[in-house]
Structure 1
Amino acid sequence: MLSRPDTHHVGKASVATAGNRKRDTRLDVLRGLALITIFINHVPGQIFEAVTTKNFGFSDAAEAFVLISGIAVGLAYGARFEVASWLVTAKKAAKRAFTLYLAHMITTFMTLALFLTGAWIFHRPGLLCEINILAVLTNLQAGIPSLLLLGHQIGYNNILPMYGALMLIVPIVLLLNARSPLLALAVSASVWLAAGIFEIAPHNTLIEGYWFLNPLSWQFLFTIGIVGMTHVRNGGKLPTHPLLMLLSACYVALSFVWVVGQYWALGNALASLGLPPVLTGFDKTFLSLPRLLHVLALAYLVINIPALSQLLRRSENNPLVVFGRHSLNIFVAGTILAMVGQVILYINNRDQIVGPIFVVLGIALQFAYAYHLERKRKLGRADRPQLAHRGMQPVPVRASHMQDMKRK
C-alpha cells in the first residue's frame, strides 16, 4: 500500500533520477509502525493500548494508514497516469479493490469462527454478544448476505471495506488531478464537507447506523496523499514556511494537551459556535476537521524536520521496513491474531498479565511472517534471471505476500 522501488523523497525533496532505484524506506517504516499500532489497539484492555498514538492526539493510526495509502497511489500511478489510459488505471484499481474485498472476507469469517469456537469450547456465550456478531447469528438468512455485500461489519473489521471503496475512486481522483490538482482537492473537500454536514454514508442493514469509517469522508485524506505525492513526483515541492511549521507544531502540542488532559468538555464550547460537527467535533466516522488537521500537521512536521525524516530512513533489511513492505498480508494476519487475542482476553477476564504477553507474542509472530514473505519475494526475484537465461518464460510470482499497490 505504500512506496515503490524507484522511491522518491516525500517532502521538499526532489524526485529521484530515473537511474536511482533505491527505495525510500521512510514510508515502509511509517506503515510498519501504523500496522503495529492498529494491532495493539485491536486487542483492547491491555496495558500497551494506553501508549498508542490515539492517547496523545486527535488522530490515530487509521488516519496515518489512509494518508500513507494515498501517497502509495500517487507513487504507483501518479506520474505515469494519462487520460488516454484512464480505463486501464480503472481496471487496476478495481482489481486491487477486489483483492481488498477478499482479504476482508477472510478476516470477517475467521473472526466469526474464532468467536463461535471460543464460546463453544470455553462455555462463554457472552462472546457472541461482542463486536456486532449477535446481529448476524440471530438472523443468518439476512446476516450472511449482509456480510458478503458489506451491509454489516464485524467490529475491528472495518478498515478494508473503506479502503476498497477508496480504491474505486482512484481513477476519478487521477483524472481530476490531471486537469488541475486544485480541482481534485476542491471536489474532494466538497464531498467530505457535504458528507459530514448531511451525514451521507453507506448504511448498515442489520443494525442502525453507518459504516464505522465512511469512505465519502475519508476519501479527502486519501486524495490529499495522492495529489501531494503526484505533485512531488512531477518535480514540484510541497510548501514550506516557518509559519506553517510553527502552526503545525502548536496544533500538535494543543492536541496532546487536550487529549492527555482529558479536556473533552471543551468540545462543548466548540459546539456552541453553531458550526457543523464535522468542523468542530472529533467524530471518526465522518473524519471531523480536528482529526484531519492533526494527521496533516504531523505529516508536515515529519516531512520538514530533517532529524525526524532521517530517523525514519532505514536500510532495506531493517525489521520495520520488511514489516511495512508486506502490508496487506501483515494486516490480515494481524487482524486475525487480534481477534484471537480478544477471545483469549475475554475468557481470562482481561487478565493484565495475559494481555501484554499475547500482544508481544502477536507482534513477534507478525515479524516472523514478514520475514517469511520477504524470503519468498527474494527467491522469486532470484529465479527470474535463471529462467530467462534458459530461454524460459518466467512464471509470474503470485501476490501471496500481497505486494504494494505499485506492483498491481
Structure 2
Amino acid sequence: MVEALARIERGDAAPAEDRIVRLAPKPQAKKPRDRRLDVFRGLCLIMIFINHVPGTIFEGVTSRNFGFSDAAEAFVFISGCSAALAYASGFEGAARLWPGISRMWGRAWTLYLVHLLVTFWAIAIAAAAWRFGGDSTLFFKDNIQALMRDPLGTLMGLPLMTHQLGYVNILPMYAVLLLAGPALIWAGLRAPKATFAASLALWGLSAFFYLDLPNFPNPGGWFLNPLSWQLLFVAGLMTGLALRRGERFVPRHPALIGLAGAVLLGAILWMKLPGGGAVGSKIVRFLLDLGLPRSLADFDKTYLSLPRLLHAFALVYLLGALASVRWLCNSRWLEPLALMGRIALPVFAFGTILSFAARAVKEVSPESLWLDAALIAGGVLAMWALAFTLQTARAAAKAGQVKPA
C-alpha cells in the first residue's frame, strides 16, 4: 500500500488493481429523511386517536373541524409518499423486480396481521366493558354487533377483511394499496403523469358508478373504498418519486399557492362562519339537482368526494410549497411528533386499541371533562412512550448492544 501511494505521488502508472479501485464509483450518500413526512404523520396519528374517542371537547381542535378532509386523507397521502421513498429503488433500471415486490407485499402482510390484532383487541375490549362493566353499548356499535346477528358470517368476514369494524378500517385499505404498489411504482418511474391520469380516471369511475369492494356478510362495500382512495395514495407515490430525484411532482407556482390558500380559507369559512354551512348546503343541493353524483358533490368519505379531495390536495400542496413549513418541521421542538411518525405502524395500532379502551372507560363512567382530558393526554403520552421505547431498542440493536428480537 505504501509503495502504491508513493508511485501515485510521483505520477508513475498505477497497477491495474489500483486503477480499478480509483475508477470504481463512490457509493452515494444516503439522503436524510424528510422530517416533514415524519412530523405530519405523527400529528395525524394524534388527531386520529382523538377522533376515535368521540364525545370529547378535544375533537374540536382536530383538522376535520376546519376543512372538508381530515387526518385520514393526509395519512394516506403521506403513506404513498413514504412508500415511494422506501421501495422505489427495487424497481429502477435493470434491478430484479421480485425483491422489490416481495418487500412491498411483505409489508402488506404485516399490515394484515396488525389489522387482525387490532380488530380482535377492539372486540375483546367491548366484550370486557359488557361483562365486567355492565354496559353493552360499545358491543352494539361499529359493526361489532354483527357477531350477535350473524356470528358465523362475521367470523368468516373478519379474516377476509370483508367485515371491518368502525375505526378499524384504514389498514385493510392501505394493505390493498400496497399490493398494487409494485405496479404503481414501476409505472410511475416510467410515466408519472400517465400513471396519475389513470388513477384519476379510476377515481372518477368509482365515483360515477359507485364501484367498491364487497362486504361480507353485510351488504354494501368498504367504508374506505380502495378504488377511490388510491388516488391520494398514487398522488403521494408520484410526489415521493419526484422527491427522490430532487424535484417536485407539481411545480411550485405563486398562482397555485394562492389557489390552494383560497380553497383552504373557503373551507374554513364554510365550516366556521355563521351561516356558512347553510349556504354550503344550498350549493350542494343545487349541484345534486343538476344530476351530479353525490360522491362528487357531497362530502362522502367512502368515495373520497370531490370537495374532500380538493381540500386534501390543497392542504398538502400548500404545506409542501412553503419553506417555513420545512424549517418548522426541522425544529427540535417537534421531535416528539417526528418520533411517532417514524414508528407509525406500531403507534397507530396501539393508539387504536387505546381509543377503544378509552371509549369503554367513558361508557362505564360519569361524564367528566377531567376524565376526557386524562384519557386523551394519557393515550397520547402512551403512544409517544411506545415510539420512544421502540426507537431506543432499534438504536441499541443497531449499535450491537443487544440482539434484535
Give TM class, smaller chain: 0.7 to 0.9
Q: Which runs of 5 or more residues in structure 2 are unaligned? A: 1-26
What are the residue-to-residue correspondences of 1:115-264 with 2, within 5 Å? 115-237=126-248, 238-261=250-273, 262-263=277-278, 264=280
Q: Which residue identity lines up with residue 129 of structure 1 in the other structure?
A: F
Find the counterpart in structure 2 of residue 405 from structure 1: none
Deviations 1:304-354 (A, max 9, x none): 122222111234992111111100000011000000011111122544332
What are the residue-to-residue correspondences of 1:389-400 with 2, within 5 Å? 397-398=404-405
Find the counterpart in structure 1 of residue 281 from structure 2: 265
Alpha carbons of structure 1 residues 159 and 225: separation in structure 2 relative to 1, 3 Å: same
Deviation at 1:199, TM superposition (A): 0.9
Find the counterpart in structure 2 of residue 35 from structure 1: 45
CA distance in 1, matches of 2:146, 2:396: 45
Find the counterpart in structure 2 of residue 403 from structure 1: none
Q: Which runs of 5 or more residues in structure 1 are unaligned? A: 1-16, 388-394, 399-408
Deviation at 1:206, TM superposition (A): 2.7
**Which of 66, 77, 90 matches 1:67?**
77
Find the counterpart in structure 1 of residue 323 from structure 2: 306
Find the counterpart in structure 2 of residue 333 from structure 1: 350
Q: Do 1:79 and 1:233's aligned partners in 2 also have CA atoms closer than 8 Å?
A: no
Q: TM-score, structure 2 length as denominator?
A: 0.87
CA distance in 2, matches of 1:171, 1:86: 9
Per residue, is there more helix in 1 or in 2? 2
Identical columns (%): 38
Q: Do 1:279 and 1:288's aligned partners in 2 also have CA atoms closer than 8 Å?
A: yes
Deviations 1:61-88 (A, max 9, x none): 0000000001001111235523753333
Q: Which residue identity lines up with residue 158 of structure 1 in the other structure?
A: N
| Larger relative contact order, structure 1 or 2 (CA cutoff 8 Å, min sep 6) | 1
Q: Do 2:53 and 2:356's aligned partners in 1 also have CA atoms closer than 8 Å?
A: yes
Find the counterpart in structure 1 of residue 92 from structure 2: 82
CA distance in 1, matches of 2:157, 2:368: 34
CA distance in 1, matches of 2:207, 2:395: 45
Find the counterpart in structure 2 of residue 363 from structure 1: 380
**Which of 331, 344, 347 matches 2:364?**
347
Q: TM-score, structure 1 length as denominator?
A: 0.86
Q: Do 2:67 and 2:271's aligned partners in 1 also have CA atoms closer than 8 Å?
A: yes
* Structure 2 residue matching 1:265: 3-state secondary structure: helix
Deviation at 1:184, TM superposition (A): 0.6
Equivalenced residue count is 372
Find the counterpart in structure 2 of residue 98 from structure 1: 109
Deviations 1:337-389 (A, max 9, x none): 00001111112254433222211111111111111111101101110xx79xx
Deviation at 1:18, TM superposition (A): 3.5
